[in-house]
Structure 1
Amino acid sequence: MRSKLHREDDQAVEWTQFDGLMDYEETLAAMEARAAAIAAGEAPEAIWLLEHPPLYTGGTSAQAEDLLDARFPVYAAGRGGQYTYHGPGQRVAYVMLDLTRRGRDVRCLVKGLEQWVIDTLAAHNIHGERREGRIGVWVQRPDRGLGREDKIAAIGVRVRKWVTFHGISLNVSPDLGHYSGIVPCGITDQGVTSFEDLGQLASLAEVDSVLRAKFETIFGRTVDGAPVLNPALSA
């Protein structure tokens, strides 16, 4: 069954994986430029998979008291949400999609992003779940106490001229201790987890392969892109 988040014209999304740790400010500027180029019809939609060096980002709802210890650089991200952490071992996927071609339904998009993560986790024997009022993907942890749930993926998007940017961050094997400098997403009574923490060892390359397959099921075809932060790059 064709997902309603597929493009009407079935044009492929440019899929690019970057090696190394990507500078946050440079990547943010390139992502915003790429989103503008997509809105202007000058570049195809894009997914960028990458890692950042250890840092914290604050969304538009971030509260100062949730920054407990600025042990890493802190950036204003401009996306929705509160504070989150990015760093090595975490797969960040920046999602630049043209919603004028995909139904102009932001809530549907967010649910699609959550489902993308849930399906990827399921392929690695991890049961991810949504929670009403808490965007992201969660894993029940009865081994850590009654009602305990840990977040394995954060989702934060912004939409400008009906083009999305920012996206998801999925914990594969980051240092979870690095989250101690913030209250992740403003939630104090639950924790964070990762593939590694759950005993599911996988490389980023293995996770990337599944991410691509599950993305195509929900959002449509992809085509390889060149790993260059160039907003004018077209397939």
Structure 2
Amino acid sequence: MPSPAAEPRHASQTAGPLDALVDRALSLLERAERVVLGITGPPGAGKSTLAEMLISRLCADLGEEAVGHLPMDGYHLADAQLDRLGRRDRKGAPDTFDVDGYVATLRRLHDEPDRTVFAPGFERDLEQPIAAALSILPSAHLVVTEGNYLLAPDGGWERVRPLLAEAWYVDVDPAVRRERLTRRHEQFGKSPGAARAWVERVDEPNAELVARTRDAADVVVELDRLGLGFG
């Protein structure tokens, strides 16, 4: 098991440019053991954009195989399971993920650093998880994981935070975030009306849950200040 995570500092520590975030991530490598950096925030805030930009910069500094990526999206329950549970119309809520599988993977990253860890990915076109689509190599001393509920206090998600070296919360103007989400749903097949309805009925209640975890983060990243687009 990993050593205890650092005590969270108050989220009023607002991060600056991307360079400062890269430096902060690199500073985690001073620890002897593998470290997992968590990036969280509400749906549509830009977690994937930040993770991808950060990983690109870290790989440029450390090498392609020195950094791993574990998106939480791969732990979506498949539609067949959501249909069985009667939860397909709430896809994306905390109980529509395999939290046990996600926690087990995080633990393996710490407990089995000398083994390749395979993890599910998520196919956006299909809106379905894909088994063993991702691999995290033993050479990856730093792993970036991202997802909505990394700081959630219950439902099994409370087991995540002790497995993270730090947790960063991505913040963005709510109106901008909702517009980005609507465009994303349209891009993957919903009509404009259906996309707006899904955002209000499903995404926004989830966003409210995530927003309550903001003050538990080590750092709040104001994505608009970094000049990054949506991801």
- TM-score class, shorter-chain normalisation, is 0.3 to 0.5
The structure richer in strand per residue is 1
TM-score, with length taken from structure 2:
0.34
The structure richer in helix per residue is 2
